[in-house]
Amino acid sequence: MQERAIVAGPPTPEAAAGPDPHPVPTAHSVRVQPLGRRFAAAPGQSLLRAAEDAGIELPSSCRNGTCRTCLCRAVQGQARHLIDWPGVSAEEKAEGWLLPCVAEACSDLVLDAPSAFALFDE
Protein backbone atom coordinates (compact mmCIF):
# COMPACT_ATOMS: atom_id res chain seq x y z
CA MET A 1 0.00 0.00 0.00
CA GLN A 2 1.34 3.37 -0.96
CA GLU A 3 1.13 6.33 1.48
CA ARG A 4 -0.05 9.62 0.12
CA ALA A 5 0.68 13.08 1.44
CA ILE A 6 -2.31 15.13 2.51
CA VAL A 7 -2.29 18.53 0.93
CA ALA A 8 -4.69 21.00 2.46
CA GLY A 9 -4.43 23.63 -0.24
CA PRO A 10 -2.11 26.51 -0.96
CA PRO A 11 -0.30 28.05 2.00
CA THR A 12 -1.84 31.12 3.56
CA PRO A 13 0.04 34.38 2.94
CA GLU A 14 1.22 34.32 6.59
CA ALA A 15 2.51 30.76 6.28
CA ALA A 16 4.17 31.52 2.97
CA ALA A 17 5.94 34.52 4.51
CA GLY A 18 7.43 32.38 7.31
CA PRO A 19 7.95 33.46 10.91
CA ASP A 20 7.66 37.18 11.62
CA PRO A 21 11.24 38.49 11.87
CA HIS A 22 10.05 41.41 14.00
CA PRO A 23 7.37 40.07 16.36
CA VAL A 24 5.62 42.73 18.42
CA PRO A 25 6.34 42.15 22.12
CA THR A 26 3.20 41.81 24.16
CA ALA A 27 2.35 43.35 27.50
CA HIS A 28 2.28 41.23 30.63
CA SER A 29 -0.46 41.15 33.23
CA VAL A 30 0.57 42.23 36.72
CA ARG A 31 -1.62 41.54 39.76
CA VAL A 32 -1.01 43.57 42.92
CA GLN A 33 -1.57 41.88 46.25
CA PRO A 34 -3.31 42.34 48.60
CA LEU A 35 -5.09 45.08 46.63
CA GLY A 36 -6.37 42.53 44.13
CA ARG A 37 -6.07 44.83 41.09
CA ARG A 38 -4.34 44.12 37.77
CA PHE A 39 -2.55 46.25 35.25
CA ALA A 40 -0.79 45.66 31.93
CA ALA A 41 2.95 46.32 31.72
CA ALA A 42 4.44 46.84 28.26
CA PRO A 43 7.98 45.67 27.49
CA GLY A 44 10.49 48.32 28.55
CA GLN A 45 7.90 50.15 30.67
CA SER A 46 8.67 50.36 34.37
CA LEU A 47 6.23 48.55 36.61
CA LEU A 48 5.75 51.77 38.59
CA ARG A 49 4.75 53.75 35.48
CA ALA A 50 2.51 50.95 34.19
CA ALA A 51 0.75 50.78 37.56
CA GLU A 52 0.26 54.56 37.59
CA ASP A 53 -1.14 54.47 34.05
CA ALA A 54 -3.75 52.02 35.37
CA GLY A 55 -4.61 54.19 38.40
CA ILE A 56 -2.66 52.10 40.90
CA GLU A 57 -0.28 53.91 43.23
CA LEU A 58 2.79 52.09 44.47
CA PRO A 59 4.97 53.88 47.04
CA SER A 60 7.75 55.83 45.32
CA SER A 61 10.18 58.68 45.80
CA CYS A 62 13.40 58.87 43.73
CA ARG A 63 12.05 56.85 40.80
CA ASN A 64 15.60 55.93 39.77
CA GLY A 65 16.33 52.80 41.79
CA THR A 66 18.26 54.25 44.72
CA CYS A 67 15.94 55.10 47.64
CA ARG A 68 14.13 51.70 47.94
CA THR A 69 10.83 53.38 48.81
CA CYS A 70 9.11 51.30 46.11
CA LEU A 71 10.67 47.98 47.17
CA CYS A 72 8.19 45.13 46.74
CA ARG A 73 8.35 41.43 46.04
CA ALA A 74 7.39 39.37 43.02
CA VAL A 75 5.75 36.27 44.47
CA GLN A 76 5.02 34.84 41.03
CA GLY A 77 6.55 35.44 37.59
CA GLN A 78 9.74 37.05 36.34
CA ALA A 79 10.89 40.67 36.20
CA ARG A 80 14.20 42.31 35.48
CA HIS A 81 15.75 45.62 36.41
CA LEU A 82 16.27 48.15 33.64
CA ILE A 83 19.45 49.55 35.21
CA ASP A 84 22.71 47.76 35.99
CA TRP A 85 22.98 48.58 39.70
CA PRO A 86 19.56 48.90 41.34
CA GLY A 87 19.50 49.27 45.12
CA VAL A 88 18.73 45.60 45.73
CA SER A 89 21.24 42.99 46.90
CA ALA A 90 21.79 39.74 45.06
CA GLU A 91 20.17 37.90 47.97
CA GLU A 92 17.10 40.13 47.82
CA LYS A 93 16.82 39.65 44.06
CA ALA A 94 17.00 35.89 44.54
CA GLU A 95 14.05 36.17 46.95
CA GLY A 96 12.03 38.13 44.39
CA TRP A 97 12.51 41.63 45.79
CA LEU A 98 12.57 44.32 43.13
CA LEU A 99 12.31 48.05 42.60
CA PRO A 100 9.30 48.65 40.34
CA CYS A 101 10.48 52.16 39.42
CA VAL A 102 13.32 50.57 37.42
CA ALA A 103 12.00 47.07 36.67
CA GLU A 104 10.00 45.59 33.83
CA ALA A 105 7.88 42.46 33.65
CA CYS A 106 9.33 39.51 31.74
CA SER A 107 6.22 37.39 32.28
CA ASP A 108 2.87 37.76 33.96
CA LEU A 109 3.54 38.76 37.56
CA VAL A 110 2.05 38.82 41.02
CA LEU A 111 3.50 41.62 43.16
CA ASP A 112 3.20 41.73 46.92
CA ALA A 113 2.89 45.47 47.61
CA PRO A 114 0.93 46.01 50.84
CA SER A 115 1.03 49.83 50.57
CA ALA A 116 -0.42 49.97 47.05
CA PHE A 117 -3.80 51.59 46.59
CA ALA A 118 -6.18 52.31 43.70
CA LEU A 119 -6.93 55.88 42.65
CA PHE A 120 -10.37 54.91 41.41
CA ASP A 121 -12.83 52.02 41.53
CA GLU A 122 -12.85 49.52 38.67
**Contact positions toward ligand FES, by CB under 6 A?**
60-63, 65-70, 87, 99, 101
Task: State the minimum distance, in angstroms, from the CB of residue 115 to ligand FES.
Answer: 12
Longest Cα–Cα distance of the chain, Å, equals: 75
Task: State the minimum distance, in angstroms, from the CB of residue 22 to ligand FES.
Answer: 32
- Whole-Å CA distances, 93 to 1, 17, 27, 83, 114: 62, 41, 22, 14, 18
CA atoms within 13 Å, Cβ hemisphere of 103: 29
Q: How far apart are CA 46 and CA 120, in angstroms?
A: 21
Q: Which is nearer to ligand FES, 56 or 99 (CB)?
A: 99
Could you tell me which residues come within 8 angstroms of residue 36 by beta carbon, excluding any fewer than 6 positions away?
none
Task: State the minimum distance, in angstroms, from the CB of residue 51 to ligand FES.
Answer: 12
Q: Which is nearer to ligand FES, 54 or 98 (CB)?
A: 98
Task: State the minimum distance, in angstroms, from the CB of residue 23 to ligand FES.
Answer: 30
Q: Which is nearer to ligand FES, 5 or 119 (CB)?
A: 119
